[in-house]
Copies of this chain bind each other. A is one copy, B any other.
Amino acid sequence: MQSRTPAPRATGRPRSAAADTAILAATRAALVELGWSKLTLGDVATRAGVAKTTLYRRWAGKNELVVDAVAELFDELELPDSGTLAADIEGVVLQFAAILARPEAQNGLMAVVAESCRDDALRERIRSSIVDRQKRLVLEGRERAQARGELPPEADPLEAARTVDLIFDMVAGAVVHRTLVSAEPADAAWVHGFTQVLLTGLTGPAVE
């Protein structure tokens, strides 16, 4: 799931699974204390109680390691079934905001996204282990809302995919920008206002 296992051999000493979890935890701790730029693989190895060479045997570099370490933070994301689309959105956005509020997520996420601009393999790794898992929530929430009749059904599947992508970029982008650029907390009040605008638009009912 995490380190790209290079076809696990049937013979020989198996890789320590405990080392994997220790390394990823140490990476997050180092992200909190040092941030991205001052994080060194040697330091992570020391924290995790493993040799530096072990790190290089499992991950190609700092980028891949941090992606895996941060990806685990998003494992807890779940789509609540609150009964209404608005409540579903507010619930999942609040979860997302809570993860982004953690310093290890802030320090790691933007840095690897920046690196992915020049590394397609890294971008693919981010997409498969972080982004797609988030996007699935949008897909499920949309289907649920359409079943409830809260959203009009899409006939064209290609058009539907475009809409899901748009919504996803709007939701994730707004929370990320609020948290990391504006540096303000995406708290319950903000999430409520955001959901109102997303559902009814600027010209719609007053924003609460």
Is A77 among interface residues, defined by CB-CB distance under 8 A? no
How often does this chain occur in the complex, in copies? 2
Task: Give the interface size class of chain A.
Answer: 35 or more
A107 on the B face (CB < 8 A): yes
Contact A197 B110 (CB under 8 A): no
Residues in B neighbouring A181, C-beta threshold 8 A: 113, 126, 131, 169, 172-173
Quick check: is A198 within 8 A (CB to CB) of the other chain? yes
Which of A6-14, A20-28, A46-54, A114-122 sits within the interface? A114-122
Q: What would be 20 A-B contacts, judged by CB atoms less than 8 Å apart?
A: A103-B117, A114-B114, A116-B183, A123-B183, A151-B203, A163-B207, A165-B182, A167-B197, A169-B182, A170-B177, A170-B198, A172-B173, A172-B181, A173-B177, A173-B178, A197-B198, A199-B201, A199-B202, A200-B203, A200-B204
